[in-house]
Structure 1
Amino acid sequence: MKILVIQKKFMGDVLVTSTILPLLKDKFPDSEISFLLEEKHAQILIENPYINQYIFFKDSFLKTLSEVKAQNFDIVIDLYSKIETGVLALLSGAKTRIGFFKNYTQFFYTFPVKRATKLKSKNTTFAIEHRLQMLESLGIDFQEAFPKIYLSKKERENAHKILSENGLSTDDNLVMLSTFGSSEEKTYPIEYMAEVINYISLCKPNSIILCNYMPFQKGLFEELNNKLSEDSKKLVITNFETKSLREFAAVTSLCKCLIGNEGGATNVSKSLNIPTFTIFSPQIQLIDWAWTSNSKMDRFLHLNDFVQNSDNYLDFKPTYFKNELREFLNKTIA
């Protein structure tokens, strides 16, 4: 049996989609699973043992369709469920086609799935459970499942090398910081993040803070660093950087915890089972992305937990969650 899973883009969506792969393999142990996505998002899936083949979207629809049709898939599961991928599923030749129900795409699928409006587990989210719903058409009942990132021995060895080049080792109390969000509106105000770092240094002066940020955010990091106390500056490794998502994941796997803005970094951390303290921006809801396989350690904070009916990030003052942060640090750092 040949199965095609489609999730075109976005790292977080691709990562969450991977939750269905082991369940498919368990149901159909002799199946070959292919994953169709944009090539730039594939690195999050490297080393995943449940994927037999990657197929990348081409520069034209017809080229992509030609490759999909040539594979003779038995089952297509379209997690992206847009017109483009719906047509791909319809024309793929697969007898079983599963996708999300929408007025304009339902005709592409043999099983159009209507998204559930209630969660079945307190540890999962709609982002996960809606994907797991796709499997019910194949006789796979709901069970908790979570994203997982797989690292190779070589990647782990390289992570140790990166630490060594910065005068660090796993004996240090390493704290990875998700310093900024992917956009300005998803970024915790810089002056507040400076307070968070100062509080970390006050609670755990024996910690070392690795600040993760994109190259285009270097100016923002310098602005943030200038706002830190002198004691905090001593704990922050200012010249630390990783060259790729895989390097970041490997280094994060050696840290005691990750703290900071919700987004790709926090999803990577949770997928590595590293304790994660997540600050959600006002427009992102906990019910969508606050999943955890480590509920005793992970913490998720949203503005509306403290200030109801506000969507102003400036209302989310660090003083509101200092107790939660201190408790988290005490659990993760000796």
Structure 2
Amino acid sequence: MTEFRNVKKILVIKLRHIGDVLLAIPAIRAVRDTFPDSHITALVNSGTEDMLKGNALINKVFILDRSLLKQSLSKRIKYELSFLNIIKKENFDMAIDLTGGDRPAIYSFLSRTRYRIGYETSGGFWGKKFLYTHRFAVNADRHTVLQNVELLDKAGIKAKTLNVDFYISKEDEIWLTNTLTKREVKEGDAIVHVHPTSRWLFKCWKDEYMAEVIDRLQEQYGAKVIMTCSPDKREMDKANKIVELARKKPITFIGNISLKKLGAISKRAKLFFGVDSAPMHIAAAVGTPVVALFGPSGAFHWGPWDNDYREQGAGGKGQEEPYQRRNGVQTFGRHTVIQRDWDCIPCGKDGCEGSKVSDCLEDISVDEVMEIISNRFKIN
């Protein structure tokens, strides 16, 4: 660490989606542990900032308003220049780009920091590599948590723990208690949090299958099912169709719940069931067992993270990778991913042949899902 001197102010950039920001927490903790007296600012996209709210590792959060980047060229340039000016005024000593894209690389360079750390990648514009002072290649086939800490490990910034933390306020916990009381959910009732949608609908299961699982959870196990959904219209339409198909209606929060309150529900639940989504990562972060359906994505990279995982150094020496295979049904700690073991998985495509429907998800049966839920978590 003698290479990095007088590092007082640090900018950590993660301009991705909600789950990506949450899974960057172990890397941010490594920065805090290495530079305990530094002032750390995180730069994230609008809509993802709740993943960092209440986290004592971070002193300040800058929010990039993505909606303004979709306006006219003149307005976009004006906004970006204004935003860059705010960053430059902070006089950061170090910028750490955990994103890997072009914009964060430019932000890192224009922040005028002495030390600029980023990924060694083959993509992006010509000359991008010259924007960093320190670039490192990482294993792209690892879980995103391990990729983030591997980058920092190679820079001499060591991760002591790999916990993904999600903070829930006392106010949100009180809200949940009052809400459950009003819905006649008792203290000893087994709650199952179901979040059936993703912003990418090709990651979603059949509506009738999801409705059947909700019915069986209630009818066979006496579980209290709480179903949540984001305010996205397409997701809300899908969620409402699932409720319509269900024989026994779940408690619902469709489009009218914050991510923090959603996390409070997951924390109180005995089980989370859903698809590859940000709420899945939140449930795992608060320690709730997850059963998740995966289609075109790789669990080895995006599977629910178990906070009981430990490794000897960011290189993973001494412990196996969290998800061992490229596809198929896999268990990591308290979490299980249900996925077909087809050769085409993971394809990363938006459905088969551009259909926006993933055959590998459609092929998963209700009986298969219920068997895994029953055998692994023994809901009574």
**Structure 1 length as normaliser, TM-score?**
0.87
1:211 to 211, 227, 238: 227
Q: Kindly provide the amino acid, as one letter, of the partner of residue 64 in structure 1.
A: F
Asked if 1:328 is matched to 2:376, the reply is yes
| Distance across 1 between alignment mates of 2:139 and 2:132 | 18
Structure 1 SS opposite 2:139: coil
1:30 to 18, 32, 37: 37
C-alpha distance after superposition, 1:193-232 (max 9, x if no partner): 123223323541x211011123424443343234334xxx
Q: Kindly provide the amino acid, as one letter, of the partner of residue 300 in structure 2.
A: I
Q: Which residue of 2 aligns with 1:135?
A: 152
**Bigger mean CA deviation after superposition, 65-74 or 291-300:** 291-300
Q: Which residue of 1 aligns with 2:48?
A: 41
Shift of 1:162: 2.0
C-alpha distance after superposition, 1:21-70 (max 9, x if no partner): 22211111111110112232212211011110112236522112111111
Q: Which residue of 2 aligns with 1:301?
A: 338
Quote the sequence identity (%): 22
Q: Which residue of 2 aligns with 1:314?
A: 362
Q: Which residue of 2 aligns with 1:276?
A: 290
**1:41-120 alignment, distance < 5 Å:** 41-57=48-64, 59=68, 60-103=79-122, 104=125, 105-117=128-140, 119=142
Q: Quick one: structure 1 residues 160 and 142, their matched pair in 2 at CA, closer, same or farther if it must change by over 3 Å?
A: same
Q: Contact 1:2 / 1:31 at 8 angstroms: preserved in 2?
A: yes
Shift of 1:128: 1.0
Asked if 1:227 is matched to 2:245, the reply is yes
Asked if 1:183 is matched to 2:173, the reply is no
2:172 to 155, 162, 167: 155
Q: Quick one: structure 1 residues 28 and 164, their matched pair in 2 at CA, closer, same or farther if it must change by over 3 Å?
A: same
Q: Which residue of 2 aligns with 1:286?
A: 299
- Larger helix share, 1 or 2: 1
Q: Give the aligned length.
A: 318
| Distance across 2 between alignment mates of 1:152 and 1:158 | 10
Shift of 1:133: 1.9
Structure 2 SS opposite 1:303: coil
**1:244-283 alignment, distance < 5 Å:** 244-280=258-294, 282-283=295-296
| Distance across 2 between alignment mates of 1:97 and 1:239 | 42
C-alpha distance after superposition, 1:95-133 (max 9, x if no partner): 1101112343211111112121454xxxxx1x1111112
RMSD between aligned alpha carbons?
Answer: 2.3
Q: Quick one: structure 1 residues 327 and 165, their matched pair in 2 at CA, closer, same or farther if it must change by over 3 Å?
A: same
| Distance across 2 between alignment mates of 1:202 and 1:309 | 36
| Distance across 2 between alignment mates of 1:102 and 1:308 | 26
Q: Kindly provide the amino acid, as one letter, of the partner of residue 245 in structure 2.
A: K
**Bigger mean CA deviation after superposition, 140-149 or 97-106:** 140-149
Q: Which residue of 1 aligns with 2:349?
A: none
Unaligned residue ranges in structure 2 (runs of 5+): 1-7, 69-78, 309-331, 346-357
Unaligned residue ranges in structure 1 (runs of 5+): 120-124
Shift of 1:151: 1.4
Shift of 1:293: 2.2
Q: Quick one: structure 1 residues 40 and 241, their matched pair in 2 at CA, closer, same or farther if it must change by over 3 Å?
A: closer
Q: Which residue of 2 aligns with 1:122?
A: none
Q: Kindly provide the amino acid, as one letter, of the partner of residue 134 in structure 1.
A: L
**Structure 2 length as normaliser, TM-score?**
0.77
Q: Contact 1:181 / 1:188 at 8 angstroms: preserved in 2?
A: no
| Distance across 1 between alignment mates of 2:131 and 2:269 | 45
| Distance across 1 between alignment mates of 2:210 and 2:343 | 21
| Distance across 2 between alignment mates of 1:83 and 1:24 | 23
Asked if 1:170 is matched to 2:180, the reply is no
| Distance across 2 between alignment mates of 1:17 and 1:56 | 16
Q: Quick one: structure 1 residues 39 and 256, their matched pair in 2 at CA, closer, same or farther if it must change by over 3 Å?
A: same
Shift of 1:241: 7.0
| Distance across 2 between alignment mates of 1:56 and 1:185 | 28
| Distance across 2 between alignment mates of 1:28 and 1:52 | 13
Structure 2 SS opposite 1:80: coil
Shift of 1:240: 7.2
**Bigger mean CA deviation after superposition, 286-295 or 85-94:** 286-295
